[in-house]
Amino acid sequence: MTKKTIVIGSDHAGFPMKEELKSYLQDQGIDVLDVGTKSLDSCDYPVYAQALCKEVLARNILGILVCGSGIGMSMTANKVAGIRAALCTNEYLARMTRKHNNANVLCLGGRVLGIDLARAIVDEFLNNEFEGGRHQRRLSLMEPTA
């Protein structure tokens, strides 16, 4: 059986939650590729969002981004072709974004979510699969046009 790998990244505001989630995932036997940041020192979130997206696409794996609100990471990640990033604030959103939108990046707000809720959101994101069917047709319609 192949061990699951997840890529994770954050800015300084999301760093504490990223570290908590990294440990949580590793405790479940999941390999975690951490693209940074590595401290609470102020930094620019787009650097880490872009690094994570590069790994998600190159390895065909899921990613988790954390910043203060989750908004900046989500906006940045969605600028990258092939990335479908979703800012989720509850378990239902995380479940549905995997099932219906085939999201490959979960964005979280480290300053707006408690760690228990964040863990539950991550669980839903990682434990659900894309349903395809009518949802694939809709995803195709999301592709950029000229």
| Cβ(94)–Cβ(125) below 8 Å | yes
| Cβ(8)–Cβ(64) below 8 Å | yes
| pLDDT for position 135 | 76
Q: What is the mean pLDDT of residues 13-30?
A: 98
138 band by pLDDT with thresholds 50, 70 and 90: confident
Whether residue 38 is predicted with pLDDT greater than 90 in this model: the reply is yes
Give the domain ranges of the chain: 5-142
Amino acid at 69: S
Kindly report the average pLDDT of the chain as a whole number: 93
Q: What is the pTM assigned to this prediction?
A: 0.93
DSSP code at position 12: T
Whether residue 139 is predicted with pLDDT greater than 70 in this model: the reply is yes
% of the chain residues with pLDDT over 90: 86
Largest separation between any pair of C-alpha atoms in the chain = 45
| pLDDT for position 144 | 64
- Catalytic residues, which ones? 67, 100
CA distances from 87 to 2, 18, 65, 114, 137 (A): 28, 15, 9, 15, 22
Superfamily of domain 5-142: Sugar-phosphate isomerase, RpiB/LacA/LacB (3.40.1400.10)
| Cβ(94)–Cβ(88) below 8 Å | yes
**Residue 20 C-alpha from the chain's centroid:** 15
Supply the Cα-derived Rg of the chain in whole angstroms. Answer: 14
